[in-house]
Every structure is written in structure tokens, then in C-alpha cells.
Amino acid sequence: MFHCPLACVCCTHTRRYAEVFGAVDFNRLAPYVDGFSLMTYDYARPGSPGPNSPIEWMEECVVTIVPELSPDRQKLLLGLNFYGYNHGPRSMDGKSNFNDD
């Protein structure tokens, strides 16, 4: 039998939204999904600079979705950013540091 892996990209709770994708959603989908890619990046926003992926927030995202250790927790994939934002006086719009302007 052919098996096509299925991953679900999930926006976890943020400072703006209490819970976008939570434990109830995870428990409903876990039997049918091979992996959940958590969007654990872009914590900081223009006008509110700070770290992009603070470890405490990433841990909180995982525990919010799967509070207890379970075999399904291994299905969680953490999205890591390899970029930063320039929140300096010339770039208050939060443009990526990869921009040359």
C-alpha cells in the first residue's frame, strides 16, 4: 500500500491570539497526520521589537498543544527562523535584514 506523508502547518498561540491551533485540534488530527509544523517564529513584530523565536515561547507552544508526554508529541516539528528583522530607526517597518536598502 502506498503511503503519502501528510504534514499540517500550524500557527500556534501568539501575543495577539490566545490560541490559533490548540490541543483539541491536535488531538482530532493526530491519528491522520504524520507531522505538525509549528510556526514558532516571528514572535516580535514591527513596533514591538524583540527576539524572533524565544525558547520559552517555543516551549510554551509545544506544551499548549501536547501538555502531557505522549507518543504523538514526536509528530511536532518546530519552525526555526534563519533571518532577523532590522528594527532600527531607519527601518521601523520591520524589513528583513537580507534587504540591501
Q: For the chain, which residues make up each domain, given as ranges?
A: 7-78
Would the pTM count as exceeding 0.85?
no
Top pLDDT among 78 and 8 is at 78
The tens digit of pLDDT for each residue in 28-80 reads 999 988 998 888 887 877 677 788 888 898 888 888 888 888 899 999 988 88
Q: What is the mean pLDDT of residues 78-101?
A: 63
Report the C-alpha gap between 14 and 24 in whole angstroms: 17
Q: What pLDDT is attached to residue 25?
A: 86
pLDDT at 61: 84
pLDDT of 42 reads 79
Closest CA to 46 of 80, 78, 90, 99: 90
87 pLDDT above the threshold of 70:
no
Res 48: pLDDT: 73
Alpha helices in the chain (DSSP H): 23-29, 55-65
